[in-house]
């Protein structure tokens, strides 16, 4: 869903439609305890190109750079309708420096923090509608001194259903 590009002072973040960066695996019928990819092709990044900015002056020794945007999340949960489950936002590791994502939500999903290579719980409970929607305000942070080349970030959503 996201790609990050770095320059000497600022980083431009290009956020792509999740369908463009999504893994090739399709949502499965959901065997209990199995992790399945959630179809997030309806998700829309409202500001797809951002400029990352230093958090403090470079003369102070800080190398933290950040950028924020809003994402209209739309998850197709029809395969799991009527079941209980946990939904996670996942961010695979990249070859570059770790990225931290922090977000607030409109209340349907849980707010949270995620570091590349991990996943974070964003929903837990019964699946009562075929589509889950929320507006997420996300802030990305990275150690700018460690970015030597463009890095691709592919956020996605996974579900684990209960019996």
The string of pLDDT tens digits covering residues 51-69 is: 666 676 556 666 777 888 8
Residues of the chain with pLDDT under 50: 1-29
List residues bridging with 121 in a β-sheet. 88
Structure tokens at 31: 């065997």
**pLDDT on residue 64:** 79
**pLDDT on residue 126:** 97
**pLDDT on residue 41:** 94
List the chain domain ranges: 2-161
pTM, whole model, 2 decimals? 0.77
Torsional sign, CA 72, 78, 82, 86: negative
């Amino acid at each position: 869903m996201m790609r990050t590009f770095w320059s000497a002072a600022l980083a431009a973040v290009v956020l792509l439609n999740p369908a463009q960066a999504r893994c090739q695996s399709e949502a499965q019928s959901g065997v209990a305890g199995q992790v399945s990819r959630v179809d997030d092709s309806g998700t829309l990044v409202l500001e797809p190109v951002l400029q990352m900015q230093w958090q403090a002056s470079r003369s102070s020794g800080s190398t933290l750079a950040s950028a924020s945007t809003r994402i209209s999340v739309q998850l197709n949960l029809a395969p799991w309708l009527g079941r209980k489950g946990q939904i996670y936002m996942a961010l695979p590791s990249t070859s570059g420096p770790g990225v931290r994502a922090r977000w607030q939500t409109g209340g349907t999903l849980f707010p949270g923090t995620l570091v590349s290579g991990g996943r974070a719980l964003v929903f837990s409970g019964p699946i009562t509608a075929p589509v889950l929607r929320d507006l997420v305000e996300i802030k990305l942070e990275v150690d700018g001194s460690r970015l030597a080349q463009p890095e691709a970030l592919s956020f996605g959503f996974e579900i684990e259903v209960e019996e």
